Structure 1
Amino acid sequence: MSLLKPGDVLAHFSDITPEFLAARGLRGLLLDLDNTLVPYGSYADEHDMAAWTHDLRAAGIRLYLLSNATSRRADLWLSRLGFDGVGMAGKPHPRAYRRAVGKLGLRPEQVGMVGDQVFTDVLGGNLAGLHTILVRPLADNALPHTRAARVLEGLVLRRYGHAWNNWERP
C-alpha cells in the first residue's frame, strides 16, 4: 500500500509554491493535465494555471507535462504554456516517469509528480522514486473508469488519513 501513499496531499495545484518545493528539495515537477491543471476535456484558457507555471519557471523550477491525454490535446496545452511534455504517456508505467525526469536533467529525488489520481500519478511517481503530490480533482466530469477508480482511491486515502470529501475546493 505504501506505493499508493502520496508524499503530500493538497487542495489545489496553486498550493505548490517555490518555497514549498525548496522545503522538499525539489527543483522540477512533472505535471498531469486533466483534472490537475485544467478540468477534464477543457480547452478554455486557464489564466491562473498559466500564471502559476510562469511563476514557477521564473523561480527556476523545471516543468514537464506528463499526461495520458491524447498527444493532440497535450500539444495544444504545451504550445500555450511554453514548456515540454508528452501526451499518451503510459502512466503509471515507471518508464514514462524516468524518461520525463531525464528530459528535466534532474535526479528523481529532485522531482515531484503532481496529479489528481492515486492509481496513475501517485503509483507511477512512487515507483520511479519521485516525491508525489496529490491534488484534489478540479472537476467530477472524468471518464467512467476514472469515476470508478475514485471509489477505490477514497478507500486508499482514508487509510492514510485523507478523504476527497473533506477537502475544501479552491
Structure 2
Amino acid sequence: MPWSPLSWSTLLQPDLILGTSVLGLTPELLEHYGLKGLVLDVDETLVPVTMAEASIELQEWVASVKQTTDLWLVSNNISQNRIRRIAESLSLPYILGAGKPSRRKLRQAVQAMNLPSDQIAMVGDRLFTDVIAGNRLGMFTILVEPMINPAKEGQRYLLRDIEVWLSQILGATLPLEKQNATNLDKS
C-alpha cells in the first residue's frame, strides 16, 4: 500500500469522543461501530498513573467486554512490574514501552488479533500518542476521559487541555467540554 501523508487534523481526529471514562464503552456501542477488537492504553485510560491496581469496576468492565471483543493492553510505560501486574489482574495480553505514536508495537497487537485494522479500536486518553498511533494504522480511534485517582478528583488535566487546544489549532474538531459518545466522521 503506497504511503500517503495524513494531515494533522486527520491524525488528531478521533472517530469517537466518549465523554466519559473507558467504563462507558459498552458492548452495544462496540457492536454499533462494528468493533471486534480493542487496543487499550493503560496509564490514565484504565488506571490512574499513581495507582498500580485495576479497580473492581474495571475488572468487571473487562470481563463483560471480553466476552465479545478481543482486548490487548499497549502502554508507553516501561515499568514491567506495574504493567504486568495490571495486565495479569485483568487476564489480558500486554505490550509495554510502545513509544506511541510509533506504530511498531501497536501493529504487533493488531496482528495478534488477526482482524482487519478498521475493526479494531485504539482506545486512549491522549491525542498525541493514542489517537495519532491508531489513526496512522487505519484503526477506529476512541478518545476517553482520563481515569481519575479518587484522591485527586476535581483536578484538571492540564496536558490534556493543551493537547485539545493545539489539536483545534491544527484543524481537529474537538470540544474542550465533554461530549457523550459522539461519532465524528473522518474526512
TM-score, normalising length from structure 1?
A: 0.86
Determine if the alignment matches structure 1 residue 167 to structure 2 residue 178: yes
Kept in 2, the 8 Å contact 1:9–1:133? The answer is yes
Determine if the alignment matches structure 1 residue 87 to structure 2 residue 89: no
Aligned partner (choices 150, 154, 167) of residue 165 of structure 2? 154
In the TM superposition, 1:5-154 aligns within 5 A as 5-10=13-18, 11-58=20-67, 60-70=68-78, 71-139=80-148, 147-148=158-159, 150-154=161-165
Looking at structure 2, the residues matched to 36 and 148 of structure 1 have their Cα atoms a distance apart, in angstroms, of 14
Counterpart AA for 2:60? A
Looking at structure 2, the residues matched to 157 and 14 of structure 1 have their Cα atoms a distance apart, in angstroms, of 26
Please report how far the alpha carbon of residue 150 of structure 1 lies from its aligned counterpart in structure 2 after TM superposition. Answer: 4.1
Aligned residues: 161
Please report how far the alpha carbon of residue 34 of structure 1 lies from its aligned counterpart in structure 2 after TM superposition. Answer: 0.8
TM-score, normalising length from structure 2?
A: 0.79
Please report how far the alpha carbon of residue 147 of structure 1 lies from its aligned counterpart in structure 2 after TM superposition. Answer: 4.7
Query: Could you list the runs of 5+ residues in structure 1 that have no partner in the other structure?
Result: none
Counterpart AA for 1:160? T
Kept in 1, the 8 Å contact 2:47–2:54? The answer is no
Counterpart AA for 1:153? V
**Closer/same/farther in 2, CA of residues 83 and 98 from structure 1, 3 Å limit:** same
How big is the alpha-carbon RMSD for the aligned residues of Structure 1 and Structure 2?
2.1
Kept in 1, the 8 Å contact 2:98–2:104? The answer is no
SS in 2 for 1:79: helix
After superposition, what is the alpha-carbon deviation per residue over 1:88-115, rounded to whole angstroms, capped at 9, x for unaligned? 1121111222111011121101100110
Counterpart AA for 2:173? Y
Query: Could you list the runs of 5+ residues in structure 2 that have no partner in the other structure?
Result: 1-8, 180-187
**Closer/same/farther in 2, CA of residues 104 and 19 from structure 1, 3 Å limit:** same
Higher RCO (CA < 8 A, seq sep 6+): 2
Kept in 2, the 8 Å contact 1:119–1:153? The answer is no
